[in-house]
Chains A and B, each alone.
Chain A
Amino acid sequence: GESVGLHLPTLSVQEGDNSIINCAYSNSASDYFIWYKQESGKGPQFIIDIRSNMDKRQGQRVTVLLNKTVKHLSLQIAATQPGDSAVYFCAGSVSGTYKYIFGTGTRLKVLA
C-alpha cells in the first residue's frame, strides 16, 4: 500500500550544525508534501510544504527538497538549535483525495 517513510529513526546533530532529515514515499501520484514538527506532549506543527511542480522551497532556516524521480524529499534545518529537538514527520497527499499519508517520524536530538 501507500507509504511515506523516514530513513532514520533518530538523528543527533551538534548545535549550530545543519540537519538533514530524509523521507521516501511510494505513491508516484503524490503531489503535495508537508513537513511537521512534533515536540514532546504536543500536536504536530506545520513547518513547510512543497508541491510537486517545485523541487525546492525555502522557509526561515528550513529548506525542503523534492526529488520526484526517486520519490524522495528532505528537510534541511540550518544552524540547528536546541529548540529544534523534536520528532519530524513528512506527509504526502494526492490532490483531491483529502488524505495524508504520514511517515513514522525521525527524532532530532540537538547536542549542546
Chain B
Amino acid sequence: DSGVTQTPKHLITATGQRVTLRCSPRSGDLSVYWYQQSLDQGLQFLIQYYNGEERAKGNILERFSAQQFPDLHSELNLSSLELGDSALYFCASSAGGGLAATGTQYFGPGTRLLVL
C-alpha cells in the first residue's frame, strides 16, 4: 500500500460526458501528479500540482483539467469524453515539488475509465 488513494476504482460512462477523478496523496506529501496509462502509449504525464499550485504540464488535453485543494487532495476533471479517453488514470505523490530533488513518486492504485 503506497498511501495514495484514488476514487473511484472503476468508472464507466458515455461519450460526451464529464467525470471527476479524485486523489488523496500520502500524508505529508505536497506534490500530486496525474498520469494516463493506455495500452498503446504507456504512462503519459498529464499535470503536476505542488501545494495547491500548478507546477508542470505534460500531454494534457484542453478537455482535461485538474486542481489541488487546500487539504492537498486533487481532482482530475475529464470533459467531453471520447472513446480514446478510455485508460487507467494514476495519481502519484511526492514529498517535494522537484522530482530530481525528492526522487520517489508513490502511485495510487489507479482509476480505470471506460468510455462507451
By a beta-carbon cutoff of 8 Å, the part of chain A in contact with chain B is: 31-32, 34, 36, 41-46, 49, 51, 89, 91, 93-105
Contact = CB atoms under 8 A, between A and B. Distances in A.
Interface of B: 2, 4, 35, 41-45, 48, 55-56, 58, 90, 92, 97-101, 103-110
Interface of B is mostly: mixed
Given A49-B103, A98-B98, A103 B42 contact: yes
A95 B100 contact: yes
Contacts of B103: 32, 34, 46, 49
B100 A89 contact: no
Contact of B99 (A41, A42, A93): A93
Given A98-B56, A100-B99, A105-B42, A46 B106 contact: yes
Given A34-B103, A44-B90, A45-B107, A99 B2 contact: no
